[in-house]
Amino acid sequence: MTEQTQDNLSRRERQIMDIIYQKGSATAAEVLDNLPDPPSYSAVRALLRVLETKGHLKHRQDGPRYIFSPKLSREKAKKSALRHLVRIFFDGSTEEAVAALLNVSKSELSDEDLERLKHLIDQAKQEGR
C-alpha cells in the first residue's frame, strides 16, 4: 500500500482524522461529540466510510458499533504531515521550517533540548541529509 497523506482530505475529513488520532480509535458517536459545529450523525458515518474507502481508516466491529482507527501509525502520519507542511508553507526548506518553529516556541529551550537538537543536526550531517 502506498503511504496515504492528508493532502486529499476536506476540512471536515481532516477534523475527523485529528479526533481519531488524538483518541487512538473512536466510534461515530465519539467523533460526533468531538467535532466543532457537528453535522448529523448520518453525515459523520458517511464521512467515516469515505475515509475508510480512501484508505485512511479501518474499522472493527464491537457488537452493533464500528470502532474506527487510523491505518497509518501516528509516527508515519506525523512524518507525512510535516513533509506536506514543509513543502507547502516553506517551499521545501527544512531550515526555514525549523527556524519558524524555534521562533514560535512559547517556552525557552533548555540546555538539554539544545543539546538534543545539536545531536540531531550532527546525525543528519553524517547521513548526508
Instruction: Say whether pLDDT at 114 is over 90.
Output: no
Domains of the chain by start residue, with CATH: 8-70 (1.10.10.10), 74-126 (no CATH)
The amino acid that residue 118 corresponds to is K
Q: Which three cell numbers stand for residue 81?
A: 504531515
Distance CA 121, CA 117 (A): 6
Q: Taking residues 12-35, report their average pLDDT.
A: 96
Name the percent of the chain lying above pLDDT 90. Answer: 62
Distance CA 59, CA 90 (A): 35
Instruction: Say whether pLDDT at 103 is over 70.
Output: yes
What integer pLDDT is reported at residue 9 of this predicted model? Answer: 86
Q: Which three cell numbers stand for residue 49?
A: 466510510
Instruction: Say whether pLDDT at 41 is over 60.
Output: yes
pTM of the model: 0.67
Backbone angles phi, psi at 91, to 5 degrees: 50, 35
Distance CA 35, CA 16 (A): 7
Instruction: Say whether pLDDT at 2 is over 70.
Output: no
Instruction: Say whether pLDDT at 109 is over 60.
Output: yes
C-alpha distances in angstroms, 98 versus 26, 83, 103, 104? 33, 12, 9, 10
DSSP state of 60: E
What integer pLDDT is reported at residue 3 of this predicted model? Answer: 45
Distance CA 85, CA 26 (A): 26
What integer pLDDT is reported at residue 4 of this predicted model? Answer: 52
